[in-house]
Amino acid sequence: MMADDYDTREIWRPLVFRLHENAPAVVREVLLERGWTEFDKEEQDDADWNLYWRNSPFRMTDHHSIKPWQRLNHYPEAVRITRKDYLARHLKRMRGSYGSALYEFSPVAFIMPNDYIKFISEYSKERQSRGRRSSYWICKPVGLSRGRGILIFQDIKDLVYDCTVIVQKYISNPLLISGYKLDLRLYVCVTSFCPLTIYTYEEGLVRFATEKFDLGSLDNVYAHLTNTSINKYGASYEKYKEGIGCGSKWTFSKFRSYLRIFGVDDMLLWQKINNIVILTLLAVTPLPVASNCFELFGFDILIDEKFKPWLLEVNYNPALRLDCSTDDTVKRKLLHDIVELLNYRQIDAFRQNQVAGTKAGRRRVPWSTAGGSATREASGLLTCQKVAKCTSASSVQPALQAARVSTGKVATPSKKTAKAYPRKTLTSQMRERMNMPKTPSSEKAEAKNKQLQGAGYSPHKSDQLSHWLPTPDFCKCKLTTRPYFLSDKDQRPIPRVGDFVLIFPFNEAALRASKDGTDVKSIIKEINKLVSKQLPSKEQNTKKKVGCLTSV
């Protein structure tokens, strides 16, 4: 076969995803919808996938052997903020270092049994000062999720536990809609911990309890917990609930419209939530440097009746089950936008350079050879760009020679090694479209994509929510056409990809402070400036409206 025929056949090779058992079904569905194919262990080489998705952490060897064209859906040690006790410890440390004014967004917490004495002292102090109207507490096992093993109590004699738990101040004055408690599931994607690059997702889920809030029945989980995994078993779940509807979920869009009807300043609320996200992630930096991974976190935010947002916990592997049509709408689009955010165009750039290099040498360099040298030379998501440079037409020849020296023979294209070298002009988006089965909705999406491509890479030109950005000015100047590349000092991350909005870095100073190792102190200084600009008159404005909403 002529080499060019081979290239032509390879041009349309779709991107490849690899799923570990238990990975959510919707991840497979979305990637297939986008024209990707699933990795076949029997047929393909270990290096032949582009995205590996699993629900548990990767082994360090997976991180070390990552290739420039690959992405993993977890960072090493992301669990530092997703376990309730670790999170509580990190936030306490930050409170000690940077002041409780900034870090008072998470309810006071004690890790039991270690903090038992401290808890007793706090509990007694509260009892004395508040008399009979003592505080409410919530006890949560650190190793469980989905509302399992949770206990709410007022009197210490009701506190029982047989494993490590956190006992947290219970927010007893939550924002209620028609008497129902709610919390927000906010999706946050960190595309790099070094430099720190954080996107929050504008769409998300509002999760309701399915029975009316009542402090007189602390053991009624359907009134006090908002987990869908619990409420879907409640008697009222399917029923129509006045003011809420059936089921237990709204989208953020619906919630925002609702707030606006009552004149609530939703913009200020979201700014505060974004600050919480940044301050929480700063608490766990630095994480070990790892290339080509990203992390999708689920932040659980409770809003109280004064519109103060509280961080309840951060979830690793936020649920991607589709329990209802609201889930379907939000989570499918979320996954599409994650793929956009991962920017497989960079991978194409890398591959294009490989093709150029390969043609110059008239031989293919095995992926393992090119990738191996590449991975050693680069770090972070910028790996591809560095590699693209070092494996360009002029530099591929030494790599080829190295392959000859190490193996004693010339590298020839084998079925397993010579895959996925697209033609120069090809982008991953184009290839995804070519491989997508045509449906009316995909045709509509295609038209939309064309429109977006005409306007430059991906940023979706919704003007409606640009105010969610902490500092819009920062995003106006000198944008990159793709998300972060560590190696390019002048670049900054793109401000919006689909419904993902960049919230960190939010200005020049924050960008500088996050470049060569995270300078947390300088970043906190910038956040303090930001917060002082955000708060005044607007807060009073919000307070005025509270009465209207809670009385609904």
- Tell me which residues touch ligand ADP (CB under 6 A): 107, 138, 140, 144-148, 150, 168, 170-171, 183, 225-227, 300, 302, 312-313
Measured from the CB atom, the residue of 298 and 371 that comes closer to ligand ADP is 298
Distances (CA, A) of 314 to 79, 108, 300, 394, 474: 9, 16, 6, 47, 28
Q: How far is the CB of 305 from ligand ADP (least distance, A)?
A: 12
Measured from the CB atom, the residue of 147 and 245 that comes closer to ligand ADP is 147
Q: How far is the CB of 151 from ligand ADP (least distance, A)?
A: 11
Q: How far is the CB of 128 from ligand ADP (least distance, A)?
A: 22
Q: How far is the CB of 134 from ligand ADP (least distance, A)?
A: 15
Q: How far is the CB of 183 from ligand ADP (least distance, A)?
A: 5
Measured from the CB atom, the residue of 138 and 356 that comes closer to ligand ADP is 138
Q: How far is the CB of 253 from ligand ADP (least distance, A)?
A: 21
Q: How many CB atoms lie within 10 A of CB 512?
A: 15
**DSSP for 378-436, written as a single string:** --STTHHHHHHHHTSTTTHHHHHHHHHHHHSS-----TTTS-----TT--HHHHHHHHS
Residue with tokens 């582009």: 50
Rounded to 5 degrees, what angle do the CA atoms 37, 39, 43 make? 115
Q: How far is the CB of 207 from ligand ADP (least distance, A)?
A: 7
Q: How far is the CB of 147 from ligand ADP (least distance, A)?
A: 5
Measured from the CB atom, the residue of 41 and 148 that comes closer to ligand ADP is 148
Token pair for residue 306?
Answer: 């004064």
Residues sharing a CB contact under 8 Å with residue 448, sequence separation 6 or more, in sequence order: none
Measured from the CB atom, the residue of 138 and 205 that comes closer to ligand ADP is 138
Cα–Cα distance for residue pair 73/227, rounded to 1 Å: 24
Cα–Cα distance for residue pair 42/109, rounded to 1 Å: 49
Q: Between β-strands 37-38 and 16-19, what pairing exists: parallel, antiparallel or unpaired?
A: parallel
Q: How far is the CB of 209 from ligand ADP (least distance, A)?
A: 7
Measured from the CB atom, the residue of 313 and 499 that comes closer to ligand ADP is 313
Q: Between β-strands 16-19 and 109-112, what pairing exists: parallel, antiparallel or unpaired?
A: unpaired
Q: How far is the CB of 212 from ligand ADP (least distance, A)?
A: 14
Token pair for residue 495?
Answer: 């401000």
Residues sharing a CB contact under 8 Å with residue 226, sequence separation 6 or more, in sequence order: 181, 182, 183, 207, 208, 209, 248
Measured from the CB atom, the residue of 171 and 293 that comes closer to ligand ADP is 171
Q: Do the beta carbons of residue 325 and residue 392 sit within 8 Å?
A: no
Residues sharing a CB contact under 8 Å with residue 68, sequence separation 6 or more, in sequence order: 292, 347, 350, 371, 374, 375, 378, 383, 384, 387, 388
Q: Buried b vs exposed e over 276-307: b needs ≥16 C-beta within 10 Å?
A: bbbbbbbbbbebeebbbbbbbbbbbbbbeeeb
Measured from the CB atom, the residue of 52 and 170 that comes closer to ligand ADP is 170
DSSP H or E segment with residue 192: strand 180-193
Strand, helix or coil at 249?
strand
| Rounded (10°) angle between helices 252-261 and 266-282 | 130
Q: How far is the CB of 75 from ligand ADP (least distance, A)?
A: 20
Measured from the CB atom, the residue of 31 and 182 that comes closer to ligand ADP is 182
Measured from the CB atom, the residue of 148 and 467 that comes closer to ligand ADP is 148
Residues sharing a CB contact under 8 Å with residue 543, sequence separation 6 or more, in sequence order: 306, 307
Measured from the CB atom, the residue of 32 and 150 that comes closer to ligand ADP is 150
